[in-house]
Amino acid sequence: MSSSPPQPPNLLNLYNLGCHYMESCDYAKALSHFSTAASYGHPLSCHNLAVMQSQGLGCAINNEEAIKNFKTAAERRFPESQYSLAILLKNHHHDIETAKELLESAASQGHVAAAYSLG
């Protein structure tokens, strides 16, 4: 008799709990919930996890991990992640060309700050 594979956790619930803990400044719990959902590729959780990593909320500042998580969400065309990733790449890696491409993609989806950054 074969057993069925374990079901992934409810990613939306994990994301919502992470947001709740983030709003109440319980960064350790927020980080835990976002990390779990992000490990399954949940784009909003990847984005929020990256924000926490880039700002040192509940963890040490880790721009490399933030870039990885912003990239996961940006690849799913989440404009806020595209914008945030562009800023990190421009400021920390001096990757102007990739940053410009990300800003253009975010701007084309109506992201005002990305459009403003392009001039």
Q: Percent of the chain, pLDDT > 90? A: 90
Confidence tier at 8 by pLDDT (50, 70, 90): confident
- The C-alpha R_g of the chain, in whole angstroms, comes to 16
Residue 16 CA, chain-centre distance (Å), reads 15
Answer yes or no: pTM beyond 0.85.
Answer: yes
Report phi then psi at 2, rounded to 5: -95, 145
Q: Which residue has the higher pLDDT, 68 or 2?
A: 68
Mean pLDDT calculated for residue range 73-84 = 96
pLDDT score of 7: 67
**Rounded to whole angstroms, how far apart are CA atoms 72 and 91?**
19
Residue 103 is predicted with a pLDDT of: 97
CA–CA separation, 86 and 78 (whole Å): 12
Cα distance from N-terminal residue to C-terminal residue, the chain: 63
Residue 65 neighbours by CB distance under 10 Å: 16
Distance CA(4)–CA(56), nearest Å, equals 39
